Amino acid sequence: MNKSILLATIAVLMVAGCTAQGGNIQWPWQLVIPTVGGGSGLVITDFSPDQSTVYGGSSDRIMITVKNAGGFAVPNDKSLIYLTGSAISFALGADDKIYWTSTVVGDGPIKHFGQTMKPVDAVKGTDADEKTITWNLKAPNITTQTITTSFIGRVYYDYQTDVNGNIWIYSKDEADAARAAKRQIYQPTFTPSSGPVALTVTTSPTNVILQSGDTFNLNIRVSSVAGGTLYRNNTINYATAATGDNLALTQDQLNKVYITVNAPGLTISNPADCTGEQDLMGGKDVKLSCTMTPSTLPATLQSYPITITALYGYYVDRTTTVTVQKR
């Protein structure tokens, strides 16, 4: 089972809580559920040559294997795989004494999966999609005795992390009645999906107990956790990219994530404080908080569904080497 999902479903008993007026109340029977969502998206499980040492002019294959280790399906038109290196050229007529060249006419540095890369589905019992992409290359006819060449395999893709939950809201009278009867007070519960961007969601107060005119806060912490590079989603045209030039990212496109909050029946009084584009400069977390209130104060206990979504682009890469020997 995915670790982040496991964490999100383990119940931990705590003693905490407060009224809408801010006074402390002890609720020894209340239920608390961790709400951290993180993990991985498309990951490179292998990047290696068919042969690590070859003679100049010989053929070799560079293979990259990619798996969707997150919780979101990636369409074919929202991803690509890019191969570059210290001495590789896909240009026609490239100097074969210097460069690795393709043995496949019309091949290039960019390839696609040719399918939607789906994550594991525990309900259906299906595994996460994993696919191997191959480049067939010919080693340069070097004039020196030996050289070691480097290859970099990189995967670019658009992804998202979701947190789905329910915010339980009590009137003060009903909360007092529950307390007197020593019944469980339901706290907001959140279930995160796994992705390179983690979302940690809480409310304050933890027990949402409101009277007319009261509000509560929705708190969101956004973190980049998978060790790759974050960029603004929909920045790269994956379908038309043909060379590395199409993949250039500017400084103002890096470290960007877009946050949305969908909460039917709840009103956000300051949406700019917890939605829209956020900047994770230097890989540091961003902490967001906004004020919420039900459109109509419920007379009895009521659950309000809520979905928090992070939209972003991401890339990860791996390096491998091949030694070329003079014939």
* Same domain (yes/no): 163, 153: no
The CATH code of the domain that includes 124 is 2.60.40.10
At residue 38, the pLDDT reads 52
Q: Are residues 281 and 320 in the same domain?
A: no
pLDDT value at position 39?
A: 67
pLDDT tens string 57-113: 999 999 999 999 999 999 999 999 999 999 999 998 899 999 999 999 999 999 999
The rounded distance, in Å, linking the Cα atoms of 155 and 83 is 9
Give the integer Cα–Cα distance in Å for 137 and 104.
8
Q: Dig out the tokens for 157 from the structure.
A: 């893709």
Q: Are 149 and 322 in contact (CB under 8 A)?
A: yes
pLDDT > 60? residue 11: no
Across the chain, mean pLDDT equals 88
| Closest listed residue to residue 48, CA positions, set 321, 327, 324 | 321
Residue 264 CA to chain centroid, in angstroms? 25
Chain segment 188-243, per-residue pLDDT in tens: 999 999 999 999 999 999 999 999 889 999 999 999 998 899 999 999 999 999 99
153, 182: one domain: no
| DSSP strand pairing (197-204 vs 36-37) | antiparallel
pLDDT attached to residue 15: 25
Q: How many CB atoms lie within 10 A of CB 309?
A: 18
In the predicted model, is pLDDT for residue 7 greater than 90? no
In the structure, what pLDDT confidence band is assigned to residue 126 with cuts at 50, 70 and 90?
very high
Arithmetic mean of pLDDT, 294-314: 94
Domain match, 175 and 255 both? yes
With tokens 């080693």, the residue in question is 139
Same domain, 136 and 176: no
Please state the rounded mean pLDDT for residues 12-18.
29
- Segment 116-123 shows an average pLDDT of 94
In this prediction, residue 119 has a pLDDT band, given cuts at 50, 70 and 90, of: very high
140 with 274, same domain? no
- Same domain flag for 230 and 291: yes
| 244 and 95 both lie in a single domain | no
Look at residues 302, 271, 322, 311 and name the one whose alpha carbon lies nearest to residue 139.
Answer: 322
The whole-number average pLDDT for the span 162-179 is 94
Measured between alpha carbons, how far is 49 from 36 in angstroms, rounded to an integer?
A: 38
pLDDT at residue number 19: 31
Q: Helix (H) and strand (E) counts for the chain? A: 2, 22
Confidence of residue 14 (pLDDT cuts 50, 70, 90): very low
Q: Tell me: the pLDDT tens digits for 253-297? A: 999 999 999 999 999 999 999 999 999 987 789 999 999 999 998
Domain span at 154: 42-158+316-325
Same domain, residue pair 169 and 27: yes
Count Cβ atoms below 10 Å from residue 98 Cβ, excluding itself.
15
Contact, 66 vs 42, CB < 8 A? Answer: yes
- Give pLDDT, residue 78: 98
Summarize the confidence of residues 151-163 as an average pLDDT: 98
The residue among 156, 154, 157 whose CA lies nearest residue 83 is: 154
How far is it, in rounded angstroms, from Cα 279 to Cα 192?
21
Are 204 and 287 in the same domain?
yes
Element (H, E) at 110: strand 110-111
Residues 194 and 301 in one domain: yes
User: Per-residue DSSP letters for 229-297?
Assistant: EEE-TT-S-TTT--SGGGG---GGGBTEEEEEEE-TTEEES-GGGTSEEEE-GGG--EEEEEEEEESS-
Query: How many structural domains comprise the chain?
Result: 2
DSSP-assigned beta bridge partners for residue 147 = 324
Cβ partners under 8 Å of residue 281, min gap 6: 255
Contacts of 41 (CB under 8 A, 6+ apart): 68, 69, 70, 72, 74, 157, 159, 195, 196, 226, 314
57 and 76 inside one domain: yes
